Amino acid sequence: MAEITLVEAITQALAYEMKVDPNVIVLGEDIAKNGGVFRATVGLLDKFGPERVRDTPLAESMIGGLAIGMAIAGLKPVAEFQFMGFIYPALDQIINHAARIRNRTRGRMSCPAVFRAPYGCGIRAPEHHSESTEALFAHIPGLRVVMPSSPARAYGLLLASIRDPDPVVFLEPSRLYRWAKQEVRDDGKALPLDVCFTLRVGTDVTLVTWGSLVKETLAAAEMLAKEGISAEVIDVATIKPLDIETILASVEKTGRCVIVHEGARTGGVGADISAQLAERGLMFLKAPVQRVTGYDTIVPYARLEKFYLPSEKHIISAVQQIMEFA
């Protein structure tokens, strides 16, 4: 079995599901002949033909609305937005329609669509290509927000998202697209949504993260172990709805929590996790919950980009600050 990258795992999942479910349609800009600007959809046009693998005109609101219409009509569209920075014209469609069609028709109609987009900085791209604003979608009732961090989880979570009867915003970490390979069986097995994954068991501190920074968080945990600090690493994976129980169980054990995310600090998803920990986990906390995040600035252009993204050093520093707290 071949080892594949995260973006190849996306392709593998799409190919699998399109094979077993004729209702799955893939659409977006440059996704057919070109196979997607990151090659996420490469080969699908040859396998499944132009009816099911569609290059759209250049119009994001249209892509969102098209997908919703298809979904209402019983198809399972997987719509690609070329970058998270260009999903914004479709916010009206996603928020005002995808998220609420089931509710407002009392279940008569629903929207089993997946809205995929690469997100995040760190690839030295021009402006607008480095967004990490998952908090916007996490705020919207009726949506799911899923963010994979490894080839295996990309495969399993995308399958789950396509099969889910409700809309999913599926954000893929572009920085990790080709970083590292992993054995991913093409067996069609989905991973569960709405649950966190514990990637590393530890006893001294809980590191909560998702998406591209899982890489740095695992590396930081490794370095902390050398200093005698045992860190537990949790990959949130489904940002919304958030599985706080897993995080609480971990914090009950460790008494310390550091949340790591790329998106800007204010109103980031870390703030919600921190609030929930204060509400329900205060009994177990030996130190304040820390957040290691992107700054409250626009993601800078390529030259200053490296100063924006949190690093292992930042994570380690945050942990060290709370180890001797109480």
Partner 1 sequence: MSVFHLPDLGEGLAEAEIHEWYVKEGDTVTVDQPLVSMETAKAVVDVPAPHAGKIVKLYGKKGDIIQTHAPLIEFEGSASVQKDKGTVVGNLEESSAVLDEGDMIIGAAKKTANTVKAMPAVRALAKQLNVDLTAVTPSGPQGQITVDDVKKLAGQHAPKLGNVEALHGVRRFMAIAMQKSHQEVVPVTIIDDAVENPASQEKDFTVCMLQALVAAIHAEPALNAWYDGKNMERCIHQEVNIGLAMDTPEGLFVPVLKNVEKKTPTELRTEIDALKKSVRARTVAPSELQGATITLSNFGTIAGRYSNPIIVPPTVAILGCGKVREEVVAREGKMEIRKVAPLSLTFDHRAVTGGEATRFLAAIIKYLEEA
Partner 2 sequence: MKIVAQFEIPYFQFLNEDSQVVGDLPNFAKDPANLLRLYRLMVLSRVLDAKAIALQRTGKMGTYPSTRGQEAVFIGMGDAMLPDDIFVPYYREIPTLMQRGVKASDLLLYWGGDERGNYFADPKKNLPFAVPIGSQALHAVGIATALKIRHQKNAVIAVCGDGATSQGDFYEAMNVAGVWKLPVVFVVSNNQWAISVPRSAQTAAKTIAQKAIAAGFSGEQVDGNDVIAVRERIAQAAEKARSQQEPTLVEVLCYRQSDHTTADDASRYEQKGIREEEWKKEPIARLRRYLESIKAWSPEQEEALQTECTNEVVKIVAEYEGVVPDEPTAMFDHLYATLPDIYADQYEMLKNIGGTNG
Does residue 16 interact with partner 1 by CB under 8 A?
Answer: no
> 97 an active-site residue?
no
Does residue 185 interact with partner 2 by CB under 8 A?
Answer: no
Cβ of 180: how many Cβ atoms within 10 Å? Answer: 11
Does residue 321 interact with partner 1 by CB under 8 A?
Answer: no
Spatial distance between the Cα atoms of 244 and 210, rounded to a whole number of angstroms: 14
Residue in 19, 34, 104, 325 binding partner 2, rule: CB under 8 A? 34
241 preceded by a cis bond (ω within 30 of 0): yes
For partner 2, what does the binding mask look like between residues 46 and 65, x meaning CB under 8 A?
---------x-xxxxxx---
Which residue, chain included where needed, has tokens 């489904």? 238
Residue in 139, 178, 265, 314 binding partner 1, rule: CB under 8 A? 178
CA angle 59, 63, 65 (to 5 degrees): 115
Q: Which is nearer to partner 2, 179 or 295 (CB)?
A: 295
Question: CA quadruple 203, 204, 208, 210: dihedral positive or negative?
Answer: negative
Q: Which is nearer to partner 2, 79 or 242 (CB)?
A: 79
DSSP state of 32: S
Does residue 232 interact with partner 1 by CB under 8 A?
Answer: yes
CB–CB of 140/98 below 8 Å?
Answer: no
Does residue 192 interact with partner 1 by CB under 8 A?
Answer: yes
Which stretch, 107-115, 123-131, 172-180, 236-244, contacts partner 2 (CB under 8 A)? 123-131
CB of 249 to partner 1, least distance (A): 4
Coil, helix or strand at residue 292: strand
- Please state the separation of Cα 254 from the chain's center in Å: 26
Q: Which is nearer to partner 1, 62 or 249 (CB)?
A: 249
Spatial distance between the Cα atoms of 253 and 206, rounded to a whole number of angstroms: 9
For partner 1, what does the binding mask look like between residues 55 and 84, x meaning CB under 8 A?
---------------------------xx-
Give CA separation, 173 vs 7, 15, 164, 180, in Å. 9, 20, 21, 13
Does residue 225 interact with partner 1 by CB under 8 A?
Answer: no
Residue type present at position 315: I
At a CB cut-off of 8 Å and minimum separation 6, what does 89 contact?
59, 60, 61, 64
For partner 2, what does the binding mask look like between residues 241 and 280, x meaning CB under 8 A?
------------------------x---------------
Which among 37, 135, 128, 134 is positioned nearest to 82, based on CA atoms?
37
Which residues bind to partner 1, rule: CB under 8 A?
3, 5, 7, 30, 37-39, 82-83, 123-126, 129, 150-153, 174-175, 177-182, 191-192, 195-201, 203, 232, 243, 245-247, 249-250, 252-253, 255, 282-286, 302, 326
Which residues bind to partner 2, rule: CB under 8 A?
29-30, 33-35, 37, 55, 57-62, 85-86, 88-89, 124-129, 265, 295-298, 300-311, 313-314, 317
Active site residues: 129
